[in-house]
Copies of this chain bind each other. A is one copy, B any other.
């Protein structure tokens, strides 16, 4: 039961944008340098975040990425689903399901876990992880 590596790195990357929200675009090099992230891989992840409308980008000199909305309005669930697609802890939790077993007795457990995980991730906003103003 694991979060994908892409989602782990994406969350670390977008948190840097949250820290710099309102300060203009942050170059990808800077994002990766601060949290020791692999640049080529993170560039792909940021494409997904941009496509999902969580991040915006300015090209060229002085360009970079920035949050498309305030950190108070972006949940961890949105970030993860932008990268991994809809949360699905198990084959049966995909839409459509990827397991064909009919009347599977364990399925309610996976639904319960998925709902719990969704509830936790959906309740946490990027702003919850920023250093508190003194």
A residues at B contact (CB < 8 Å): 1-5, 7-8, 11-12, 15, 35-36, 76, 80, 84, 87-91, 99-101, 105-106, 109-110, 112-113, 116-117, 120-121, 124, 128-130
Contacts and interface: CB of A to CB of B under 8 A. Distances in A.
B1 A106 contact: no
Given A116-B116, A117-B113, A88 B2 contact: yes
Contacts of A120: 109, 112-113, 116
B113 A2 contact: no
Contacts of A113: 116-117, 120-121
Contacts of A106: 11-12, 15, 76, 129
A51 to B, nearest CB: 20
A117 B23 CA distance: 38
Given A1-B4, A11-B106, A12-B101, 16 more contacts: A1-B3, A1-B89, A2-B90, A5-B91, A8-B99, A15-B106, A36-B101, A105-B130, A106-B129, A109-B121, A109-B124, A112-B120, A113-B116, A113-B117, A113-B121, A116-B117
